[in-house]
Amino acid sequence: MTYLGTALAVLGAALAAILSGMGSAKGVGLVGEAAAGVVSEDPSKFGKVLILEILPGTQGLYGFLTAFLLLARIGLLNGEIATNPLTVSRGLMLLAACLPIATVGYFSAIAQGRAAASGVGVVAKKADQSGKAITMAALVETYAVLTLLVSLLSIMSIVNYTA
């Protein structure tokens, strides 16, 4: 039971990385399919569709960032955790702190993938309107960024918290 708190915190880090990574993979994959459809007809549009394809990939990065920060702050990366394990309550709090980016990251990446894939259709027909397509897809990012902030701030506060 000594390491249950630590295990819960690591579970949170894993969920943040796995779920947001899965969402990004789905989103980027979807836009990639649409982008391939356009590039197969007009290779000159590769640059414009590439920007759209990158957009849903950010949630995966946010999940990775959250997981890395958590693992570093609890001392798992430098081995300090062995001498100073987390309590169960703190582990649970860290797990909860990871959930915003894990869940919203997953769903927003898929939603952004759909929006960006639709934008690829806009680029296919009206390349000069690519800015609008990128803006529409980028707006979905807002909610991933907000939850990233919530998760990061929570992790930092919980680790620094002394009862």
Partner 1 sequence: MKIKDTDYAFGVAKIRANELNLLTQVDFDSLIAANDYKSALRILEDKGWAVPEKSTSFASMLEKFEDDTWQLVCACLPVVSTFDSLILPNDFYNLKAAIKAVFSDLEPNDYFIRPFVTDPALIAEAVTNKKFDILPKHLKDTAVEAYDAVVRVGSGRLADIIIDKASLNTALASAKNSGNQALTDLAELSCACANIKIAFRSAETGRDTEFMLRCMADCDTVDNKRLAFAAADGGREAIAEYLQFTPYSEAGEKLAESAVAFEKWCDDSVMGSIGSKRLAAFGPEPIIGYYLTCLAAVKNVRIILSAKLNGVSSEEIRKRVRNINV
In the numeric block, the tokens 């391939």 are attached to 36
Whether 19 and 106 have beta carbons less than 8 Å apart is answered as yes
Q: Which of 78, 125, 128, 163 binds partner 1 (CB under 8 A)?
A: 125
Asked if 138 interacts with partner 1 (CB under 8 A), we say: no
Asked if 133 interacts with partner 1 (CB under 8 A), we say: no
Asked if 155 interacts with partner 1 (CB under 8 A), we say: no
Structure tokens at 162: 């002394």
Classify residue 25 as exposed, middle or buried by CB count within 10 Å of its CB (0-12, 13-18, 19+): middle
Asked if 30 interacts with partner 1 (CB under 8 A), we say: yes
Q: Which of 11, 37, 68, 96 binds partner 1 (CB under 8 A)?
A: 37
Q: Interface with partner 1 by CB under 8 A: which range of 13-21, 54-62, 95-103, 115-123?
A: 115-123
How far CA 102 is from CA of 12, 95, 140, in Å, comes to: 8, 10, 16
Q: Interface with partner 1 by CB under 8 A: which range of 6-14, 77-85, 90-98, 116-124?
A: 116-124
Asked if 38 interacts with partner 1 (CB under 8 A), we say: yes
Query: Based on CB atoms, which residue is closest to partner 1, 42 or 80?
Result: 42
Number of alpha carbons in the 13 Å side-chain half-sphere of residue 60: 16
Asked if 137 interacts with partner 1 (CB under 8 A), we say: no
Q: How far is the CB of 128 from partner 1 (least distance, A)?
A: 13
> Minimal CA–CA distance to 110: which of 50, 53, 52, 25?
25
Q: Which of 118, 136, 138, 143 binds partner 1 (CB under 8 A)?
A: 118
Q: Round to whole Å and give the CA distance between 34 and 51.
A: 13
Would you put residue 126 in left (φ > 0), alpha (ψ -120 to 50) or beta?
beta
In the complex, which residues of this chain contact partner 1 (CB under 8 A)? 30-31, 33-38, 40-42, 45, 114, 117-118, 120-121, 124-125
